[in-house]
Chains A and B, each alone.
Chain A
Amino acid sequence: MIDLLLFLVFWIILSILGEIGVSVWGPHFYYYTASTQALEGLNASLFLFRVLTPIFVFVVLMIIFVPTRFKAKRDGSIIPGKRARTNRAYVGIWITVSIVINLLFFLHPTTSAAEEQFNQLQPAANTHDLIVDVTARQWEWRFGYPQYGVNAAVDPAGNDVLYLPVGKKVEFVLRSYDFNHPYDMGLDVIHGFWIPAFGEKEDVIPGETRYEVITPNVITSTEVNPMVRVQCSEVCGPGHPVMYAAVHVVSMKDFLQWVHAQHKAGN
């Protein structure tokens, strides 16, 4: 009994310390966030950290507690007397707790976050979104703004670039084909559209049109933080590591100015 009490005391103290650690360090888990979707992911993972900390502490403490507390006194000895082959309370609690925790995780954050995603993708909720056509080919991203008549946005150096207005819901329309060589289907592979600071990635699949909804909530750019960049996340051949593009999240006014400049440049 004294073993159990000692263990419980250690467990509770260390779990509390762990939870304090989660509170301090947890909000930095995503390093840098620039969209409401990233915040949702961060909150979900914070919840997971909270629940998992005592479990982690329990097992790790066991691994350390047992060899120190129950260290063998004599070599190869047999402990006299009957030893527990099973313990209904322990097994019962273990199984119940593990089922409950997993069901909990499925309800929250899994299903609750999925519901949020469903809602965001509802057509009715997306009537005033900014639509950005994202086309991936080996090995280049191309960004078009059909509502503004911009076919392929490029910066003055001729590189593809993504500009987004802050605070507006953006609907990325993801397609994978080679717009310069549409006859060559063999070039169409799966790419991954990922902006690390936006906390979400979706694969771009040949023959499919897929959608990702993001609401950028900070004015930022690749120069401010390199996590704000478009990065191909799914291996797509030898050009995969250089398949990235710069991103700028700007105010609506600056965005419209930029669109105007793109028109002037004939893009």
Chain B
Amino acid sequence: MATAVSTSPEYPVKRPMPPVIRGLLWAAIGFLVVNVFISYVIDPLKGNPFITQPSVVLGWTAGLIGWLLGVGGWEEIILPAFGIMNKRPVTATGWRQYFGLSLHHKVVGIQYLVSSTGGFFIAGLAAMLMRLELMSPHMWLFPDPGQYLMTVGIHGTIMMFSVGTVALVGGMGNFLIPQMIGSNSSAFPKISSISVWLVPAGILTVAFSPLLGQWTTGWRGYEPLAQNDANGILFYYLGVFALTTSSLLVSLNLTATILFKRAKGLTWNRLPMFAWGMLVVSLLNIIWLPEIQMTFVMALLDRLVPFPFFTAVGSPLTYLEIFWLFGHPEVYIIVLPALTIWMEIIPVMVRKPLFAREWGVIGVIFVMMLSGFVWAHHMFTNITLQEELPFSFFTEMISIPTGFAYMVVIGTMWRSNFKLTVPSLLVLMSMFNFLIGGLTGVFNADPVVDLQLHDTFWVVGHFHFTIIGGMVFTWLAAMYYWLPKFSGRTYNSKLGVLGAIWVFVGFDGAFSLMFLVGMEGMNRWVPIYPPYLQPLNIAISIFAFILGAGFLFNLLHIWWAMRSGKKVEQNPWKSKSLEWMATSASLDDNFKEEPLVVASFYEYDDDKPAAIIPQQEVAASLS
């Protein structure tokens, strides 16, 4: 009906404002009005500063609401909620669909992926600046230590909350899950359509937090140091709040989608591994994100009111306890999707059924459940001795279900028909790197050793091996593997192999040397360090620059492949999964008719399809 009005020729054509611009405008208006009202009218401070703590918090909130309404929330969500349907603008076509609110799960998935990639490169740039600074034991690039520490915090915060938790869940999850389970949309398309716009808002809030002042806490935003910092920490809390809200909404949507939108015949025993991964990750998000959000609200009130929850006169360690209570599940939020992507890609590449599938599922579920029992292993240096042992126990135990992923993948590869392609190469690299991350974690799990390793570059090396090694390498594998789903085109094999080896060399060089420099006495968060550590730091920096260039190379290659790579058929990998039966490289419905799943997707010992389109079967039998 909306189209009928707008296409009539005599209807005066007024070009609408681009949604992003309108969002920025409404955000600016919302911020200015509320901020001025509070800082000048309600609660002016001495000297009448334009920005005060309460004004900037409430102003930011108004700005965020303005942004979400401006990009399309007003017409697509608020007005329809009141039954007003005819105000909706003409749906944009072509590339414009990606720069406004969209109800299509593929568009939303790509929006998430692009936002994550943007965050990845902003935070990566911060990392490059840090490595540049660390090439000298003195301050030379940054004007002062506070700015260096702030860069560390921005790097970590954006990487964790807009890349680690978002790329594979909001991005790959939104894009793939409906196709994988034989549906044309997610369960709540409006939720995802609005939640994706929280990501750029959150990234920019954190990236521009220095405008408010220095914060030196790193990605934990931890108390009581946060109370001690200037107002920039407010934008940390607010930006992370936006990003975690986005992940929370996505998780609600994905859970409902997997529960209720599966095609006929897609029983739990046939559910794709990646869908299992998305399900357990979504449950982790739903359990733990509200917890950390409430913690951030308390930390904000600590400053605004002020309350003494986490200050020196309150309970300083409580913040760290409840931060890590979320913070360790967060690590599994990042890595569980990656483990299940291994189990998606490897059977296709080795042409052999997925081995011990049930143990793969049991593994991710047990990791999900155990992940809430291990948090205090981040705190061996500040809890009492008797508290250490139970956390040490569970930390060591959680390696068992994590190891099941290796058991499944190795069992699948054994005596198979292994095809070495860019995705399978990247999965192998990811397995190698995550293995190093896991085995070095055994040392951290042991309190007597951890008391030496904690807060050193050993730990920096360890968690980058788990997160970049586990998640980012797998993200690259997934991008190359599902590239035809995005564009109907594929990558150039030689460039792909070059890109994979490039990041592998840069990554393993930089982060394995971090283990050594950490053992030699290099602790974290120090732009000024004793000169004897300089040679190793220079070597790390050089590898880090190679790594940064390698990621850029892969980005450009994937971008090129999407636009002008070689065109491929619908199902180039001859996979049995449902997503390869769905339409590729178009925003038409995934499935014209609902498919019927008749077998497991991983039976690569015959040529029978795992799913059929019933109508086509009927037509075929008639003819």
Residues of A within 8 A of B (CB): 3, 29-31, 38, 40-41, 44-45, 48, 52, 55-56, 59-60, 62-63, 66-67, 70-73, 75-87, 90-91, 94-95, 98-99, 102, 105-106, 109-111, 113-114, 116-118, 121, 138, 176-177, 185-190, 192, 194, 196-197, 199-203, 205-207, 210, 226-227, 229, 231-242
Contact in complex: A62, B410 (CB < 8 Å):
yes
Contact in complex: B224, A52 (CB < 8 Å):
no
Among B355, B415, B454, B606, contact of A85 (Cβ-Cβ < 8 Å) = B355
- A8 CA to B508 CA, complexed, in Å: 27
Contact in complex: B392, A85 (CB < 8 Å):
no
CB<8 Å pairs between A and B, sample of 12: A78-B604, A90-B411, A94-B403, A102-B396, A105-B396, A110-B447, A116-B448, A185-B312, A188-B316, A190-B224, A194-B455, A238-B214
A67 and B420 in contact, given A91-B407, A110-B446, A241-B526 (Cβ under 8 angstroms): yes
- A137 CA to B416 CA, complexed, in Å: 61
Contact in complex: A206, B316 (CB < 8 Å):
yes
Q: State the 8 A-B residue pairs at the shortest beta-carbon distance, nearest first.
A: A238-B146, A188-B312, A113-B448, A203-B382, A206-B312, A196-B521, A241-B526, A235-B525
Chain B residue at minimal CB-CB distance from A63: B428
Residues of B within 8 A of A (CB): 144-146, 149, 214, 216-218, 222, 224-225, 227-229, 311-313, 316-317, 350-359, 381-382, 385, 388-389, 392-393, 396-397, 399-400, 403, 406-407, 410-411, 413-420, 424, 428, 431-432, 435, 439, 442-443, 445-449, 451-452, 454-456, 519-521, 523-530, 532, 573-574, 604-607
Among A45, A91, A138, A242, contact of B528 (Cβ-Cβ < 8 Å) = A242
Among B311, B385, B519, contact of A30 (Cβ-Cβ < 8 Å) = B519
Contact in complex: A202, B312 (CB < 8 Å):
no
Contact in complex: A98, B532 (CB < 8 Å):
no
A6 to chain B, nearest CB (A): 12
Contact in complex: B605, A239 (CB < 8 Å):
no
A261 to chain B, nearest CB (A): 26
**In the complex, chain B residues whose CB is within 8 Å of the CB of A98:** 399-400, 403
A81 to chain B, nearest CB (A): 7
Q: A91-B407, A102-B399, A110-B448 are in contact. List 7 more A-B contacts (CB 8 A).
A: A71-B419, A85-B357, A186-B227, A202-B382, A226-B532, A233-B454, A240-B145
Contact in complex: B385, A121 (CB < 8 Å):
yes
Contact in complex: B381, A186 (CB < 8 Å):
no
Among B228, B414, B573, contact of A186 (Cβ-Cβ < 8 Å) = B228
**In the complex, chain B residues whose CB is within 8 Å of the CB of A241:** 145, 525-529
Among A56, A83, A185, contact of B352 (Cβ-Cβ < 8 Å) = A83
Contact in complex: B435, A110 (CB < 8 Å):
no
A113 to chain B, nearest CB (A): 4
Contact in complex: A72, B419 (CB < 8 Å):
yes
**In the complex, chain B residues whose CB is within 8 Å of the CB of A90:** 407, 411
- A56 CA to B434 CA, complexed, in Å: 11
A200 and B451 in contact, given A52-B439, A114-B385, A240-B526 (Cβ under 8 angstroms): yes
Contact in complex: B416, A70 (CB < 8 Å):
yes
- A240 CA to B145 CA, complexed, in Å: 8
Contact in complex: B350, A29 (CB < 8 Å):
no
Among A40, A83, A84, A226, contact of B448 (Cβ-Cβ < 8 Å) = A40
Contact in complex: A114, B312 (CB < 8 Å):
no
Contact in complex: B316, A56 (CB < 8 Å):
no
Contact in complex: A233, B456 (CB < 8 Å):
yes
- A77 CA to B574 CA, complexed, in Å: 9
A41 and B448 in contact, given A98-B399, A110-B392 (Cβ under 8 angstroms): yes
**In the complex, chain B residues whose CB is within 8 Å of the CB of A197:** 521
- A234 CA to B389 CA, complexed, in Å: 22
A110 and B389 in contact, given A201-B452, A206-B224 (Cβ under 8 angstroms): yes
A227 and B521 in contact, given A67-B418, A79-B352, A189-B228 (Cβ under 8 angstroms): yes
A184 to chain B, nearest CB (A): 10
A125 to chain B, nearest CB (A): 14
B443 to chain A, nearest CB (A): 6
**In the complex, chain A residues whose CB is within 8 Å of the CB of B435:** 56, 59-60
Among A29, A78, A109, A236, contact of B605 (Cβ-Cβ < 8 Å) = A78
- A82 CA to B603 CA, complexed, in Å: 10
B153 to chain A, nearest CB (A): 9
Chain A residue at minimal CB-CB distance from B137: A241
**In the complex, chain A residues whose CB is within 8 Å of the CB of B214:** 238
A186 and B312 in contact, given A110-B447, A235-B217, A237-B225 (Cβ under 8 angstroms): yes
Contact in complex: A44, B446 (CB < 8 Å):
yes
Chain A residue at minimal CB-CB distance from B521: A196
Chain A residue at minimal CB-CB distance from B573: A76
Contact in complex: A94, B407 (CB < 8 Å):
yes
A264 to chain B, nearest CB (A): 31
A53 to chain B, nearest CB (A): 9
Contact in complex: B417, A73 (CB < 8 Å):
yes
A86 and B356 in contact, given A63-B431, A102-B397, A226-B532 (Cβ under 8 angstroms): yes
**In the complex, chain A residues whose CB is within 8 Å of the CB of B519:** 29-31
- A29 CA to B316 CA, complexed, in Å: 34
**In the complex, chain A residues whose CB is within 8 Å of the CB of B419:** 71-72, 75-76
B375 to chain A, nearest CB (A): 16
A202 to chain B, nearest CB (A): 6
- A59 CA to B413 CA, complexed, in Å: 12
**In the complex, chain B residues whose CB is within 8 Å of the CB of A102:** 396-397, 399-400
Among A121, A190, A229, contact of B225 (Cβ-Cβ < 8 Å) = A190
- A241 CA to B526 CA, complexed, in Å: 5
- A77 CA to B543 CA, complexed, in Å: 39
B157 to chain A, nearest CB (A): 14
- A189 CA to B225 CA, complexed, in Å: 5
Chain A residue at minimal CB-CB distance from B407: A94
The residue among B224, B406, B424 with the most chain A CB atoms within 10 A of its own CB is: B224
Contact in complex: A79, B417 (CB < 8 Å):
yes
- A110 CA to B394 CA, complexed, in Å: 12
- A208 CA to B139 CA, complexed, in Å: 34
**In the complex, chain A residues whose CB is within 8 Å of the CB of B224:** 188-190, 206
B322 to chain A, nearest CB (A): 15
- A72 CA to B285 CA, complexed, in Å: 40
A76 and B381 in contact, given A106-B396, A194-B523 (Cβ under 8 angstroms): no
Chain A residue at minimal CB-CB distance from B220: A235
Contact in complex: A117, B413 (CB < 8 Å):
no
Contact in complex: B574, A76 (CB < 8 Å):
yes
- A19 CA to B154 CA, complexed, in Å: 41
Contact in complex: A78, B316 (CB < 8 Å):
no
Contact in complex: B388, A114 (CB < 8 Å):
yes
Contact in complex: B447, A114 (CB < 8 Å):
yes
B461 to chain A, nearest CB (A): 14
A126 to chain B, nearest CB (A): 14
- A200 CA to B606 CA, complexed, in Å: 58
A56 to chain B, nearest CB (A): 6
- A33 CA to B400 CA, complexed, in Å: 33
